[in-house]
Amino acid sequence: MVDDFERMWADLAPVGRSAASGGYFRQPFLSAERELSAWFAEQAAARGLTLQSDAYGNQVAWWDPPAGSAGSSTDEVAPDGASKGPHRRSGAGRSGAGRSGALLTGSHLDSVLDGGAYDGPLGVVSALAAIDLMRERGVVPTRRVGVSVFVEEEGSRFGLACLGSRLAAGATTWESARELADRDGVRLGDVMAGDAVSGGSSSLLEGVTTFVELHVEQGRALVDRNAAIGVASEIWPHGRYRFDFTGTANHAGTTAMQDRRDPMLTYAMTALAANKQARTASAGGADLHRATFGRVDVAPNGTNAVPSRVTGWLDARCATDASLAELVAAIERQGHQRAERDGTALTVTAESVSGPVGFDGDLARAVAADHAGGDWPIVPTQAGHDAGILSTAGIPTAMLFVRNPTGVSHSPDESASMPDCLVGVSALADTLSRLAGGAG
């Protein structure tokens, strides 16, 4: 298992990596991410797993139980994900967590712009290594076990986080998703053009009744608890909001300061207001608010010109729906007040908003319990994940976190130690073995 994990990790290390920053650029449907998708198919074939994909680019490599066992099926799965036999069950996740239906694990292979190595790929590599370890232990599952790769989890190209799992779960329609465009104006509908997606649905999750995602921790909760592994209790509600500030373009040298209608000033003061609102709301040690302007676009974007338009994207996260709504409303209100003083205008558009996700409590406690050294800690996360989409779709879901020594994520400095990663593989194998109902 150790050799398998380290070999796979070494295979992925150079793909999409920037020589300048050391960070990763693995945006969906571009060369680096497609290379990883092909790599995953090769890994599935090497293990004798049945590869299933849907029209959106999501993939699952299935480990089928032996013929004659409770969860086995001799029916084939078509490459496009369509069923050729009765093993497909309608209504993903309706039966609850247990030992019936298919068990799914995995994560994603795409990255944020200039991202870290672990966010996503750690869950995929660990899942493949966990199957190797289960086989070494002699585990024979009584239900199908799948390793999934969902596309565009980060939303780094088409702007909607967890896009692949949303489409697979029916949480987002193809009619709306096809109009999403990247920064170069390329539409998702053009990337996925053709009859393959004309039906607007996916059968990838049919029959899945449990999902377990392993992920590098994106924070310091496990460091503070001196634990290599943790289990997620919930995901905070979060959203992405586009702030369009408009003014009047003019000459940077000849336009008097008092004659300007400069949207950059309005944007700058709004960004400062967002920081102050989140810090003020989190005062007293509660630390329950986050507000970040992490992306900005300026027109005409000239050094010697007052801009005519500034667009900034706000990422906001809070512990509750109500506090998220209050935070964004306060930031928007201060933005409008500043725009009135600057002679500019502001329009705010909610591009993506996700409500709170509470993971299956019984499943989380079962996954966390009775390990050497005591129970694993159960902690909340402020980051969105495919697990949140599947949980909201009615599939009982659990998440395992692997300790991040610095807490840094979405950065080239993101890290996890090899010993902790291997503990994560063992923990995932233990969890899947319990849930798969196999003997070893």
164 and 32 inside one domain = yes
Q: Do 329 and 342 form a contact (C-beta atoms < 8 A)?
A: no
Same domain, 71 and 219: yes
Q: Are residues 231 and 284 in the same domain?
A: no
- Based on the fold, state whether residues 108 and 29 are members of the same structural domain: yes
pLDDT of residue 95: 36
Residue 7 burial (CB < 10 Å; 0-12/13-18/19+)?
exposed
Residues counted in the chain: 440
**380 and 311 together in one domain:** no
Give the pLDDT confidence score for residue 3 in this predicted structure: 84
Domain encompassing residue 295 = 238-354
Helix pair 121-136, 418-436: axis angle to 10 deg = 60
Q: What is the mean pLDDT of each run of 10 residues along the chain (440 residues)?
A: 89 97 96 97 98 94 82 43 34 45 97 96 98 96 96 94 94 92 94 63 91 95 93 93 98 97 98 95 74 97 97 96 95 98 98 90 88 83 92 95 94 96 96 81
Locus of tokens 């967890």 = 162
- In 3-state terms, what secondary structure has residue 296? strand
**Which residues touch 258 (CB under 8 Å, ≥6 apart)?**
none
How distant, in Å, are the alpha carbons of 150, 204, 205, 299, 313 from that of 170?
Answer: 14, 11, 10, 36, 26
Domain final position from 323, 354, 385: 354
Given 312, 327, 354, the domain boundary residue is 354
Q: State which amino acid sits at residue 333.
A: R
> What pLDDT was estimated at residue 281?
76
- Output the domain CATH number for residue 269: 3.30.70.360
Model-level pTM? 0.83
State which amino acid sits at residue 342.
D
- Asked if 402 contacts 419 with a C-beta cutoff of 8 angstroms, the reply is no
- Are 141 and 26 members of one domain? yes
My answer on whether 139 and 217 are in the same domain is yes
pLDDT at 76: 36
The answer to whether 65 and 72 are in contact (CB under 8 A) is yes
Strand partners, 357: 235
Phi-psi region of 202 (alpha: psi -120 to 50; beta: other; left: phi over 0): beta
SS (H, E, C) 307-345: CCEEEEEEEEEECCHHHHHHHHHHHHHHHHHHHHHHCCE
Could you tell me the CATH number of the domain that includes residue 138?
3.40.630.10
User: Can you spell out the DSSP letters for 196-250?
Assistant: GGTT----TTTTEEEEEEEEE-SSSHHHHHT-SEEEEEEE--EEEEEEEEE---E
In this structure, the answer to whether residues 332 and 408 fall within a common structural domain is no
- Residues 124 and 214: their CA atoms lie apart, in Å, by 8
174 lies in the same domain as 287 = no
Residue 40 and residue 117 share a domain: yes
- Give me 170's structure tokens: 């029916």
d(CA 104, CA 368): 18
- Relative to beta strand 238-246, strand 345-354 is antiparallel
Q: DSSP character for 251?
A: E
Residue 192 pLDDT: 82
Angle at Cα 336 formed by Cα 330 and Cα 338, nearest 5°? 105
Point out the domain boundary residue: 354, 380, 399: 354
Q: What is the DSSP letter of 16?
A: T
Residue 130: name the closest of 106, 151, 156 by CA: 106
213 and 348 in one domain?
A: no
**Domains: count for the chain:** 2
Query: What is the Cα–Cα distance from 332 to 309, expressed in whole angstroms?
Result: 17
Question: Are 205 and 242 contained in the same domain?
Answer: no
* Angle in degrees, CA 187, 193, 197, rounded to 5: 115
